[in-house]
Structures are given as C-alpha cells and as structure tokens.
C-alpha cells in the first residue's frame, strides 16, 4: 500500500480513529482463513479479530474474497503497461518477459504470497477465481500484443506461454525461499521453456 494511503484514518461505528485499518483487517483475515478455512470465516469474525467493525471492513473490501484478490487489477495493469512500453524492436516473447518483470516487481511479499497460496489451494471456489484471474491476464496480454501488431495465433500463443511461465515460476517461488526473487525464478523458467521447445 502506498504511504499516502497509510496515513488516512477513519472513525468506525464506535467513533474512534483507526489507523492502518486495511492492514489490520488483511492480517486478521489471513490468520482466520489459515486457522479455520476461508468458507468458515465471516466478515464479522475478521472485524472482531482486528478489533474493528464489519462496517469498517466494507470501507476497504467489497467482500472477504477481495482480501485475497484485491491486487489482481493492479497486477494486470502493471503487466500490460510494461508490455506496451517494451521497445518496438522487442519480439513478442521479449515483450512478455517485460510484463513478467513488472509482475515480479509488484509481488515481493513472499510471506503474504505463501499464506495466500495456502488459502487458495485449500478452497475450490478460490482456485476457480484464481484460474479466472489468470485467463483474464492472458487475454489482456494477448490483446496488448495485438496492439503491437503481433498477428494471431502468435499473440495468443505468446500470452499463454507467458502465463504458463508466470504460473509455474510463482508456484516454485512460493514453495521455496524468498531468495532468489520471483523475477529471478521467472527468468529461469522462461529460459527453461525456451530450451524445452527448442529441444522438441
């Protein structure tokens, strides 16, 4: 969260000022999702654990799923912008690599990513949501490649290959240590994909 947002405070239903309410709610939600499971956790539970009210929760999150997926739009926007900003001479795969770099620059909180992954893996509804998010990301990258006048099916193939690398690299990074960074794992995975396809 940017610094400017951190200093914004609100009064909750009790009339108190609540600094860092979003961070506290996010932390409380992650704790409860891991302890009890996502489905067994209510917004009231999250607010109670954070020492806040449900009303305060809904100032920051549309629902309890948004605690986990709130960053998806920002991630997609960052990846598309990076792809658009790649030099005109960049190949489709080089443009995709730029998008992956942008993702890695956003996804630096290894502990949050690890806990988030545990919660998502444990719940069918969330696994489906994650698949939809990835499909939307692939469509957005494919669209941005077509804007660079990459024809079909190359645009869709490059976008899908990029998502394949993203998915596999992210899972490897989350399952292992914070270092090497996600960016490193992504570059390595992309190189491995290139080797695999050239060997075939």
| Cβ atoms of residues 21 and 9 within 8 Å | yes
Interface pick for its own copies out of 132, 147, 176, 180 (rule CB under 8 A):
132
Six token digits for residue 108? 């630096």
Interface pick for its own copies out of 49, 72, 171, 181 (rule CB under 8 A):
171
The yes or no reply on residue 163 touching its own copies (CB under 8 A) is: yes
| Cβ atoms of residues 10 and 59 within 8 Å | yes
- The CA distance from 41 to 92, in Å, is 43
Three-state DSSP at 77 gives helix
| Cβ atoms of residues 53 and 25 within 8 Å | no
Q: How far is the CB of 159 from its own copies (least distance, A)?
A: 9
Taking contact as CB under 8 A, which single stretch among the options 9-17, 34-42, 80-88, 165-173 is the one that binds its own copies? 165-173
Return the number of the residue (21 or 165) whose C-beta is nearest its own copies: 165
| Cβ atoms of residues 46 and 28 within 8 Å | yes
Taking contact as CB under 8 A, which single stretch among the options 20-28, 50-58, 114-122, 149-157 is the one that binds its own copies? 149-157
- The CA distance from 27 to 167, in Å, is 25
The yes or no reply on residue 161 touching its own copies (CB under 8 A) is: yes
| Cβ atoms of residues 186 and 99 within 8 Å | no
Q: How far is the CB of 188 from its own copies (least distance, A)?
A: 8
Q: How far is the CB of 107 from its own copies (least distance, A)?
A: 17
Which residues of this protein are in contact with its own copies, per CB under 8 A?
91-94, 96-97, 127-128, 131-132, 135, 152-154, 156-158, 160-161, 163-165, 167-169, 171-172, 189-190, 192-194, 196-200
């Amino acid at each position: 969260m940017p610094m400017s947002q951190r200093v914004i405070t609100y009064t909750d239903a009790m009339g108190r000022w609540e600094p860092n309410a979003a961070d506290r709610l996010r932390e409380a939600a992650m704790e409860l999702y891991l302890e009890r499971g996502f489905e067994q956790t209510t917004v009231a539970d999250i607010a109670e654990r954070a020492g806040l009210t449900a009303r305060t929760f809904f100032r920051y999150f549309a629902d309890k799923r948004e605690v986990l997926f709130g960053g998806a739009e920002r991630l997609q926007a960052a990846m598309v912008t990076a792809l658009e900003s790649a030099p005109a001479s960049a190949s489709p795969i080089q443009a995709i690599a730029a998008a992956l770099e942008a993702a890695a620059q956003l996804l630096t909180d290894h502990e949050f990513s690890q806990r988030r992954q545990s919660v998502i893996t444990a719940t069918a509804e969330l696994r489906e949501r994650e698949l939809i998010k990835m499909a939307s990301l692939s469509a957005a990258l494919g669209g941005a490649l077509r804007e660079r006048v990459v024809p079909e099916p190359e645009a869709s193939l490059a976008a899908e290959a990029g998502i394949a690398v993203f998915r596999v690299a992210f899972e490897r990074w989350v399952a292992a240590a914070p270092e090497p960074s996600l960016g490193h794992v992504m570059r390595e995975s992309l190189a491995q994909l290139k080797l695999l396809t050239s060997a075939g």
